[in-house]
Structure 1
Amino acid sequence: MWFDEYEQLTHTEKEQFILTANQLLSKTFIIRDKYSPKEKRLKLNPDYRFIERHLELFRRYLRLSGWELEKDNNYGVIALYNRFELNRAHLNKRTTIILYILRLIYEEKREKLTLKREITTNVGEVVGKMINLGLIDKKPPNKDLIDAFRTLRRHQIIDYLGSDVTQPDTGIIIYPSILFVVTNEKITEIYELAQAPQKEDEDNEDELTEEELEEEE
């Protein structure tokens, strides 16, 4: 039983277990190598290591409420999925397009990756690619950019290398968790969705897709 194993934890470990479980439910992904703004580099995420040490305990605990925990050692990603396909986050069209573009950029840069572990881009490159592919005609409103990037950051898909995501030179690190959100099979599907007509009064509110972003209601 998971509870017997839980009771063997120290008081500090029990507190950390509760906090980390809630992080999983709210963020969907826990990344092994996370960007540290203070040190300006990737660092080993202590939450990832804690889950790694108590992986089966987390699995048994979360399975009680319909969640499955998967760990990919190659990419350093721990992902949470609801086996009943409930509690999915709905992304509006703008966020879906940005997610699609980030996935394309990740794939392009991953092929050229050498000694650096992280894959980075910037806001200008993302917006430029959206325009070049004919997905938009001009730079989106600042509010749309802020909302979209904030959503993706909250789910541990990206992180900021600067503070203002409305500026073209603000850097963005793309985490490997994006591979679990937009698989190769989904790229075509999302591209077609992004090109679909959209009503003018639903630019910021229409929920157009349900990605593998599990979000606690």
Structure 2
Amino acid sequence: MEMEIFKESQVQKEKFRAAANKLLNSCFIVKKKEDTRNDYIFIIQNKEFFVEYFDLLGYKIEINENQGVVALTNINGTGRLRLKKIESILLLILRLLYIEKRKELSLTEDVVVLTDEIHQKYSMLKIEAKSNLDKTTLRDAIRLFKRYNILTNIDRDVTLSDARIKIYPSVLFAVPNDNLNSIYEAINEKLNKYAMGSESSDDEEADQD
């Protein structure tokens, strides 16, 4: 049976297809992100159709209106993005910075960090295998997280110490947790484990699909 949304106008069909494709490609749709804001609003207005559609494909769609994020996960746990260890560390650092900055800002203000702040957090870990975060690794990680609508760089050269990076609330959903304090503690614990060298695996699974 044809879904009701596909019985609507051609414009509605195209809006649905565009939003659905963005979710499949990026895993996150963010209200605060300019090029996905309209998709976010459309999904909110037609959430029952999106839930039904993605359920047929084996996906679960999570809509968090407080954070302004729509997240997509695979019901069967397949198709997970495998992150390199260094990428996992940087993702944890970005979450930590987001939570710290968020406490100082109103809900309407964007969370913006400097590349130097990322380097400072990384240096605190004192990782023997890779004591310094090189430009190529940082640039590649930023490009990857940007693809998944977790952040965007305001300045072109992200390797400069004063380069600004805007972090979106979708960073909180990479590993879901309902309590910000719990997330903060979990990240610190994870970072401490890395610093102590107790994480032996070179690769980890991220919760993006």
TM-score of the pair, normalised by structure 2: 0.85
Note the C-alpha offset of 1:143.
1.6
Kept after mapping to 2: 8 A contact 1:146/1:165: yes
Is 1:170 the counterpart of 2:141? The answer is no
Change over 3 Å in CA distance of 1:156–1:115 after alignment to 2: closer
The answer (yes or no) to whether the contact 1:96–1:190 under 8 Å persists in 2 is no
SS of residue matched to 1:165 = coil
* Cα shift readout 1:111-142 (whole Å, capped 9, x = no counterpart): 21147521110111101111023246654222
Q: Which residue of 1 aligns with 2:16?
A: 17
List aligned pairs for 1:69-84, cutoff 5 A.
Answer: 69-84=61-76
1:105 is aligned, of 84, 97, 101, to 97
Q: For residue 65 of structure 1, report the CA deviation from its aligned partner.
A: 1.5
Identity across aligned pairs (percent)? 34
Question: Which aligned segments of 4 or more residues in structure 1 are displaced greater than 3 angstroms?
Answer: 135-139, 192-199
Letter in 2 for 1:143: T
Contact 1:157/1:174 (8 A) holds in 2: yes
Normalising by structure 1, we get a TM-score of 0.82
CA distance in 1, matches of 2:6, 2:208: 31
Deviation at 1:61, TM superposition (A): 0.8
SS of residue paired to 2:169: coil
CA RMSD of aligned residues (A): 2.4
Are the aligned partners of 1:158 and 1:172 in contact in 2 as well (CA < 8 Å)?
A: yes
Cα 1:188–1:115 change in 2 (3 A) is closer
**Partner amino acid, structure 2, of 1:76:** G
* Bigger fraction of residues in strand: 1
Gaps of 5+ in 2: 178-182
| 1:91 corresponding residue in structure 2 | 83
Distance 2:13 2:111 in 1: 34
Cα displacement (A) at 1:5: 0.6
Name the CA distance, whole Å, in 1 between partners of 2:11 and 2:107.
37
In the other structure, the counterpart of 1:187 is: 187
**1:158 equivalent in structure 2:** 151
Deviation track 1:92-112 (CA, whole Å, cap 9, x = no partner) reads 111111111111111111221
Aligned residues: 200
User: Which runs of 5 or more residues in structure 1 are unaligned?
Assistant: 37-43, 200-205
Cα distance in 2 for residues equivalent to 1:150 and 1:193: 26
C-alpha separation in 2, matches of 1:72 and 1:198: 31
Contact kept? 2:113, 2:166, Cα under 8 Å: yes
Matched residue, 1:211? 206
Equivalent pair of 2:150/2:170 in contact (CA under 8 Å): yes
